[in-house]
Structure 1
Amino acid sequence: MERREFLMAAAAMAAAAPLGAAPAPAGIALPGAINRAGRQRMLSQRSAKAWLMSVLGVLPDRARSILDQTVTRFDLQLADLKTQLPSDEVRTLLAQLESEWSRYRPLLGDIRSDPKAVWDGNEAVLGVAHKLTVAYEKAFGSPSGHLVALAGRQRMLSQRMAKAYFFRQLNVNAGPAAEMLDQATKEFAKAQAELRGAATNSPQINTELGLVDQQWFFFQNALVLKEGVDPKRAAADVATTSERILEQMDLVVGLYEKLAAR
Structure 2
Amino acid sequence: MTVRRLFAILLAMALPMTAGADSRLESLETTEAGRAWEAVGRLDINGTGFCTGALIAPDLVLTAAHCLFDKRTKARIDPASVEFLAGWRNGRASAYRQVRRAVVHPAYVFDGDVSPDRVRNDVALLELQHPIRNTTVVPFKTATRPAKGDRIGIVSYAHDRADAPALQEVCNVMARQQGVLVMSCNVDFGSSGAPIFSFEQGEPRIVSVVSAKAEVKGQRVSLGTELEQPLATLMADLAAGAGFNTAPPPRTARVTVGDGRHATGAKFVKP
Instruction: Please classify the TM superposition score into its range, dividing by the shorter chain length.
Output: under 0.3
Give the number of the structure whose residues are more often strand, by fraction.
2
When the two structures are superposed, what TM-score results if normalisation uses the length of structure 2?
0.26
Give the number of the structure whose residues are more often helix, by fraction.
1
When the two structures are superposed, what TM-score results if normalisation uses the length of structure 1?
0.27
Bigger Cα Rg:
1
